[in-house]
Amino acid sequence: MGGGASKEQFIFTLAAPGEAARRYVLRMDPLEAITETSRAREYEILNAFEGVVPVPKPVWIDAEGEIFPRPAMIMELVSGVTKPSTIDLSVTGLGTVLGDRLRRIIRPQYLDMLAKVHNFDWQSANLRSFTAPTADPKQPTRWLINFWKELLEQDVVAHEPVVRVATQWLEENIPDCDRVSVVHGDFRTGNYLFDEETGHVTALLDWEMCYLGDYHADFAWLLQPVFGTHIEGVFRASDIFEGEEDFIAAYEAASGNLVNRKKLHYFKVFNFWKSYILVSVLGMRAAIEQHNHQDVLLTFLAATGPMHIAALAHQLSIGDMQ
Q: What is the mean pLDDT of residues 89-102?
A: 77
Q: What is the mean pLDDT of residues 272-284?
A: 77
Q: Please check the confidence at residue 320 and state whether its pLDDT lies above 60.
A: no
The Cα-based distances of 266 to 3, 249, 261, 272, 310 in angstroms read 30, 19, 9, 10, 16
pLDDT computed for residue 191 by the predictor:
92
Query: Could you report the per-residue pLDDT of 39-53, keeping only the tens digit for each?
Result: 999 999 999 999 999
- 224 falls in which pLDDT band (50, 70, 90)? confident
- 54 falls in which pLDDT band (50, 70, 90)? very high
Q: Please check the confidence at residue 255 and state whether its pLDDT lies above 60.
A: yes
Q: Please check the confidence at residue 313 and state whether its pLDDT lies above 90.
A: no
- Say how far apart CA 136 and CA 134 lie, in whole Å: 6
For the chain, what is the mean pLDDT? Answer: 87
- 160 falls in which pLDDT band (50, 70, 90)? confident
Q: What is the mean pLDDT of residues 2-12?
A: 77
Query: Could you report the per-residue pLDDT of 103-151, keeping only the tens digit for each?
Result: 999 999 999 999 999 999 999 999 999 998 888 999 999 999 999 998 8
pTM above threshold 0.75: yes
Residues in Cβ contact with 188 at an 8 Å cutoff, skipping those fewer than 6 apart = 93, 221, 222, 224, 227, 238
Q: Which amino acid is at 112?
A: D
Residues in Cβ contact with 90 at an 8 Å cutoff, skipping those fewer than 6 apart = 2, 297
Residues in Cβ contact with 32 at an 8 Å cutoff, skipping those fewer than 6 apart = 285, 286, 289, 291, 292
Q: Please check the confidence at residue 319 and state whether its pLDDT lies above 90.
A: no
Q: Output the 3-class SS for 245-304.
A: HHHHHHHHHHHCCCCCHHHHHHHHHHHHHHHHHHHHHHHHHHHHCCCCCCHHHHHHHHCC
Please state the length of the chain.
322
pLDDT computed for residue 182 by the predictor:
98
- Say how far apart CA 191 and CA 81 lie, in whole Å: 10
Q: What is the mean pLDDT of residues 26-36?
A: 78
User: 283-288: which pairs have CB atoms within 8 A and are 24 or more residues apart?
Assistant: 283/5, 283/34, 284/157, 285/32, 285/155, 285/157, 286/5, 286/30, 286/31, 286/32, 286/33, 286/34, 288/157
Please report which helix (H) or strand (E) contains residue 108, including its range: helix 100-118
The Cα-based distances of 143 to 18, 133, 138, 149, 282 in angstroms read 50, 8, 9, 10, 19
**Most confident of the ranges 28-37, 185-194, 291-300:** 185-194
Please report which helix (H) or strand (E) contains residue 8, including its range: strand 8-14
Please report which helix (H) or strand (E) contains residue 241, including its range: strand 241-242
pLDDT computed for residue 37 by the predictor:
84
- 322 falls in which pLDDT band (50, 70, 90)? very low
